[in-house]
Amino acid sequence: MWIIPSIFIQDGKCVHVSYGDKTSSTPFDVDPVEQAKKWADLGADRLHIVQLGPNAASQNAATYSKNNDVLGKIVDEVSHYLPLQIAGGIKTMASIESYLDMGFDYVVVGSAGVKDPHFMNDACSAFNGQVILGLDARDGKVVTDSWSKVTKFDAISIAQRLTDEGIDSIIYTDMGPNGDMTELNYEATINFAQNVDVPVLACGDIDQVSRFKEIKTLVDYGVDGIILGKCLDKGNYSLQDAIDIVDSIND
């Protein structure tokens, strides 16, 4: 089980984002590069980086110019120590290739992959093992466009269909029936993981370190890692606390 801190970047700065509303962000006074170095130094298994921008519908990574310098510096500083994955507005083969060329190990494709399975198939074929499907759900239904649109499509069915298209792994975020889930949705994540045939990374905060003991069930059903957000910045527990508990479960 991997513990994967996330860093959301907007206009070159770290921001906090509430699950269910990527359009609303709160800056906080931490340099993104220093934040990445901190998580690497503390033993994170991987980093999940999400770039946000005012032009969120853009299909070209170059339009996020205020973020690009920061992303490049993060790669330069920490990519030798742990794998990096990038997400946020990735809709073209050119965008995927540009991030991989920059030095990211994995690229997360979200809404574009759900809307166009053939694109997902092409991406997985061209960049074998380096493209991850980002699948967001609300009450079991797929959510797209920065969590703003709830579709009629069942998340498990979409995952199974895209698995047939060649995806190797899925990041799954379930926001609960009302779209306001603030913590990892254990029940929905377990149900999802046991119904798909590829490794799953669960996404959602865990506010109390004691709840990490519950993740053994996630491991049993094929969840390979947990992507954590602002819960690590609150100070209720440290990254090392989480790693120690997970290591004891892995043993």
Least confident stretch, 24-28, 86-90, 193-197, 224-228: 24-28
For residue 130, the model assigns a pLDDT of 96
Q: Are the CB atoms for 88 and 47 separated by under 8 Å?
A: no
* One-letter amino acid for residue 82 of the chain: L
| 3-50 per-position pLDDT tens digit | 999 999 988 889 887 655 555 566 677 899 999 999 999 999 999 999
Q: Which helix (H) or strand (E) holds 76?
A: helix 65-78
Q: How many residues does the chain have?
A: 251
Boundaries of domain holding 39: 2-250
pTM above 0.85, yes or no: yes
For residue 179, the model assigns a pLDDT of 55
Residue 56 has pLDDT above 50, yes or no: no
CATH number at residue 194: 3.20.20.70
For residue 229, the model assigns a pLDDT of 85
244: exposed, middle or buried (Cβ count in 10 Å: 0-12, 13-18, 19+): middle
Cα–Cα distance between 242 and 251 in angstroms, integer? 14
Residues annotated as catalytic (active site), given as ranges: 136
Backbone CA torsion sign across 242, 247, 249, 250? positive
Residue 250 has pLDDT above 60, yes or no: yes
* Number of domains into which the chain is organized: 1
Cα–Cα distance between 10 and 66 in angstroms, integer? 8
Structural tokens at position 244: 């120690």
